[in-house]
Amino acid sequence: MTPLRLVSAGVSAVAVAYGLARYGYGLLLPDIRSELGLSTELLGLIGTLSYVAYLLATAAVTAFAAQTGPRLPVVLGGAFGVVGMVSISLSEGATALAAGVLVAGASSAFAFPPFADAVGRCLLPEHRGRALSAISSGTGWGVLVSGPLALLVGGSWRTAWLAFAALGMIATLWAAWVLPARPLGGGERAPARLHLSWFACPRSAPLLVGALLVGLGSSVYWTFAVDYVVGYGALSASAGRLLLVLVGVASILGSFGGDLIELVGARRALWLGSSLLALSLALLAAAPGSWLAVGPSAVLFGAAYNVVVAIQAIWSARVFSGRPSAGLGAAMFMNGLGLMLGPLAGGVVAGQLGFPAAFVASAVVVSAVALLYPREELQAVAAS
């Protein structure tokens, strides 16, 4: 299998599962709020349901991905995304909306981790870091596509979700064509047996804690940024969507996460990414109505978030080399836990103290990731 075919399937699957099925909710939130008349707290709670489904699905895919091969979980993820997005487009109230968000939220858990196994077994070592970085940047490509689509359809958020579902079907079919259906060979060593001490150990603790903090802090941006600049910054709905277009364009820089590690080392790369991520949140908190702050915030957030995620994907593949998909699933589980708790906490803080306080708190949380420097000598050691 050529790197281009595998990476294209991975980018497409992640773009749909994350950039459309998951983050499309935040992109279209102002229009959904306007038509369905839902409160900030309730919208935050519904956003949290996406991550509940994500956590449950992550636990499932972590357990069976190595036994089934990468094709089945990725296709299941695509199916969840398509069904969920169609359901959202048809929703007439909070209950139906929540159900669609719940189903769509499960798709991202299935889309990314199986590619860690595929990259580890199908590509040469010198291609693996760049391949994982490129696949992790699929979120940015998804946002880059969803933003202009939302601008094109205007206030017709139902049409946007149907268009997202159609793209999801195409991406799922391509991944099904490219990925192998059978379990991938494990090489000379048998796959590591999964148990709690394999996941939680001194080598993995900084990675997993950092993934949790990134999820907590970034979820407020993904869920509420558009609603914040429209409702509090008095920007137009089109301007709010343009914000996420900028995030998507900048997110593609996450493809260079592997190169950044080679250039400055993992410690400096993680410090730089998390610091810029915190700065992006602080900028939006300070001036949601000024493009002098909103524009740089969007670019910094998109680039920094995806660089940090790419670093964590590469890091997990090295720490958990015995079962790459399970290790990446563990990191994504912790990230998802933060993403689940973030919208709920952010909605409560915003409801009580205002959105600026929620974004400032998120910036503080994300900045703590800079303290979790991965030790270079541990990155090459597999957890056992």
pLDDT on residue 24? 85
Taking alpha carbons only, the member of 246, 256, 350, 338 closest to residue 299 is 246
The Cα 133–Cα 130 span in angstroms is: 5
- Tell me which H or E stretch contains 201: none
Task: Delimit the domains of the chain by residue range.
Answer: 3-379
pLDDT on residue 202? 65
Tell me the pTM.
Answer: 0.75
pLDDT on residue 384? 34
pLDDT on residue 263? 83
Ranges of the chain whose pLDDT falls below 50: 186-192, 377-384
The Cα 77–Cα 63 span in angstroms is: 15
The Cα 152–Cα 157 span in angstroms is: 10
pLDDT on residue 66? 61
Mark residue 187 as left, alpha or beta (left: phi above 0; alpha: psi -120 to 50; beta: remaining). Answer: left
Q: How far is CA 27 from CA 23, 151, 288, 315, in A?
A: 7, 10, 16, 30
Taking alpha carbons only, the member of 186, 194, 185, 202 closest to residue 319 is 202
pLDDT tens digits, one per residue of 250-306: 888 767 777 777 788 777 888 899 999 999 999 999 999 899 999 999 999 988 988
CATH 1.20.1250.20 correct for 3-379:
yes
